[in-house]
Amino acid sequence: MLEQSIENLTVEIHKLTAAVAEQNRLIAPFAQAANTRVSAPGSQSHTGNPAAPLYPPKSAQPSFLTEAQVATTLGMSLAAVRKWRFLRRGPQFIKLGRAVRYDRRKLEEWVDRQQRLAE
């Protein structure tokens, strides 16, 4: 009876090990993209390796950002981003039900326009 229990547990361990390996295989591209960082040409990354990237590639970045992500990206307060939206002065946004989202490309274009206006 003890041998049968050990054998059953061994089979279960093998099944779990296979399931974990399959999950790791499935999430590997996402984990790799999240850990990949892109550096400016000629610059060195935090590791000192010029080939090691600093920022995730755009393909790994979500195309829509929350207002909190926009505030963090721009280094502004959440209240400032909300005020811009209320006054229609900030980046273009969309509403998905009650959720407010910002298209990453539109945000980048808006920042570019602001930089040109400041020059």
Pair 53, 73 in one domain: no
Q: Provide Rg for the chain, Cα atoms.
A: 23
Pair 46, 67 in one domain: no
Q: Which domain holds residue 3?
A: 1-60
Pair 53, 80 in one domain: no
**Which has more pLDDT, 107 or 40?**
107
Q: Which pLDDT score is estimated for 29?
A: 65
**Which has more pLDDT, 71 or 27?**
71
Pair 93, 108 in one domain: yes
Task: Give the separation between CA 46 and CA 34, rounded to whole angstroms.
Answer: 16
Number of domains, the chain: 2
Q: pLDDT tens digits for 31-59?
A: 555 554 444 444 444 455 555 555 556 56
Point out the least confidently predicted range of 4-18, 50-64, 88-102: 50-64
Pair 55, 66 in one domain: no
Pair 31, 79 in one domain: no
Pair 51, 69 in one domain: no
Nearest CA-CA partner of 54 in 66, 65, 71, 39: 39
Spatial CB neighbours of 105, under 8 Å, sequence gap ≥ 6: 63
Share of the chain above pLDDT 70, in %: 70
Q: Which pLDDT score is estimated for 42?
A: 47
* β-strand partners of 103: 64
Q: Which pLDDT score is estimated for 43?
A: 46
Residues 3-20: what's their mean pLDDT? Answer: 81
Q: Which pLDDT score is estimated for 31?
A: 59
**pLDDT over threshold 90, residue 86:** yes
Task: Give the separation between CA 47 and CA 52, rounded to whole angstroms.
Answer: 7
Pair 21, 48 in one domain: yes
Pair 27, 78 in one domain: no
This prediction has a pTM of 0.48
> Torsions phi, psi of 95, nearest 5?
-110, 130
Pair 82, 54 in one domain: no
